[in-house]
Structure 1
């Protein structure tokens, strides 16, 4: 039935499977302990004097799980809230060296991937890499598949992401053995003096993690649906400032000594801890898709999003503060509701009517779906997101 709806390419055997895990219980326990220890260290580092970040622990688990899935992760939030520092803290938890963590400062004038990667200089018969350093980092990562590499695009939306990042958007959803970025035409390879250093194509292994930080203001571009279809957009919640300095740990307290290798990190991925999407969750996504497409046929819940939500839930640790119901709710916000934007005329029936000063949203088709499937999740984050969008429409006549 669900396959006829065209949403998901998952066999019935995989959905809600109750078959026993093939790995030994001892191996599973070791993997759980390693990941749990890593996440404890990650949280401790964020709270350390060096970083002094006070994010909700659920957001840290969400960030970690999103990275494990292997797609692009985008951190959104107020300027000055430590989005870039969070990436550095994650890098420190993994004990990456200087060459394994690469920050790419996005420039407003970037128009295509040659601004990011570089270009072939046919006059002088050389390839000239971009000054971002990304090309060299990716080549190094390809030579060291046993190491993890973390690439962060700082202020990612200063230029249009779908332009300068176009190759990556297509490649990141492919299998590891065919994830290749083309630097130039292969026919030029024999002519270039530095083709040994810069071949025509470079591969992007699963040992490379991609993160972007964004500020949503008048100086930046908003994401296209092509980007949102392929990214987990996480809006970070800041904890109350009360006790922020009183409870701060000492400098360098509980800093990990062991570097996380790619082999160790890969054991965190696709764990047997979580479960695939259940029938009730799939029914919810289908109903959500139907409701959204009635308002705008160009947006909805595509098969790509459903499969990526499924993979996220598979990778969700079975320990910690982030339960499955909250994780599913977060994925609805990060993968579906981010695409709902437009004018009051388009979206008023979908989002509902915002009531001031109570903030109550009435006659919302989205909230009606959340109510119908309250056994799946309370959808607290989704409800809040719908409320914010309804408020924007009430004040400005549109939501972005």
Structure 2
């Protein structure tokens, strides 16, 4: 059970327990003595020694207050700068004799002055070193937590408001909170006093850091040293999503979530940043901020910044996210580890990254990782075209205390668990829930027969790469709803299942693949006109362990063998999908990409005079599923119907009999028509002008009869005659008269249709 540090009694118990545990550890005396001796040495040093370069170097580099961590920054120019040295001497000599208000003002002023003086002397901001330095100069004021994000996490857990005071004042507030429950710590520099200075660090490690499900870092209580805690390769994110604008875009996106927001508000914000973004792209980028960067956290339908995100937003310093990226992203540690040995050409780096994951057959994901390391200022491309670690990159690489692993790809087709639990693993790392879990995830108001969902599941996954199905049948029967529900069911264990679904309404006049895959701008060969489908395809390729589903809605409004041909070919042969012939990437779009074995394609088809038939090239690659039978009784809308029970019985029975009459000639209707008829009658009842029977008559006339058409034949005559009988029995006069006219047309003209 987690301890509530906001409660005084629990905080006191936590402090006493931490100190007791700490005192029993082997290295307790060593750290306390080291810290005590260093603080006394700094306090007693005179001006003559203090200003020497040797003492300044010791002051900046000492690990007595805390271990180095990300603090490996060259400060050789800083220790030689007299203005910096005199600022620090002034702080050391004046601070002990000031009252708390004056002391705090001096600390804040000196912090700002030193930051301004140091900036032009270093390549990176030595923020952690500066915290250690100030803690050594003013130990009465500071704790030994030198990382502000971690101090803020502890402060919040102790009930100290996030916006209470500036970042330096949090040290004072945390110490004051601990002193309030434990009392004064004793004389300055005594063992108890020094222990009290380290106590906030112990509380953070034991009651904040260790409360994470899987902490990115582990800490040694006796030394304060932290080590990264890497995930194994098979549990990491497969690369990093390519995002235009890189770090500046990440910060612009999370700025909106500073005070928390809903997912929908966040989507609208991202649309305002780039109106060309497709909904699927926005969802994928949102997930990247959560899972790849660790800067956002989902809380139901709301998004909030993590403390890591707050630190990154405030400082813009990539070091704030180093723990997450190095331990959670596949390939990043491999690249930095390799470059630590020696620089290498970009092509060689790509080749090394491709060895990590056999699914990275193209250069897209490796290049994205390399581009991110450059954007994060970890790697630079030198004049000799070699990738080299920067100073920041060297400090990140120094934290990699393990030999980075590679992803072991499983057998091409295997299953784990049974049909009721666990997950299915296909094509290596791709996982999907078992069928029963997918079925259970469907909205209870949109239910399909389990056998039909199972038919779709079996049709999609019978081939290790070609996951393609075509749903054909009655208009309004729920083909798109079935496809959508299945897609969401495959990602039902995630916070945002919609991120794995893209619905593409096919348009008449699609005669080539550019409608789906985009194209190089003919007026600017350096620009690529992207589509939502292309972005979705690239995301699927970069994330092979999760299914991505595309629904081609009314896919036969144009000829699929024309606009869909590259994918039809690639899904069959396993060859790459050709995107352009420019040689290199264009706006992040590679010349070609492998066909993603985690891509699921479901097409919906209506057969009428506005559509095209499907060629054998399409049908041979697809699992064709036809469903025409409609169960009027099973329509879920009956349970929410606002009509009286008697009225519901009349409407349901009439529609049921009409379906039975029209089924033999395939002119019956689906749930969409049932819903529209009910809606019409409900609104008429609410209006109070049209009586019930008249409203039902008008609804059927408008929604059922317009589809009636056909040539004179015994089946058509029988069907129309049965419809007329149903309408007569229900006393629907206008509809009965219309069907009577259609029967006359059959007899005298040889054909009949509603529109004439």
TM-score (norm 2): 0.27
Bigger RCO of structures 1 and 2 (CA < 8 A, at least 6 apart)? 1
Q: Which protein shows a greater Rg? A: 2
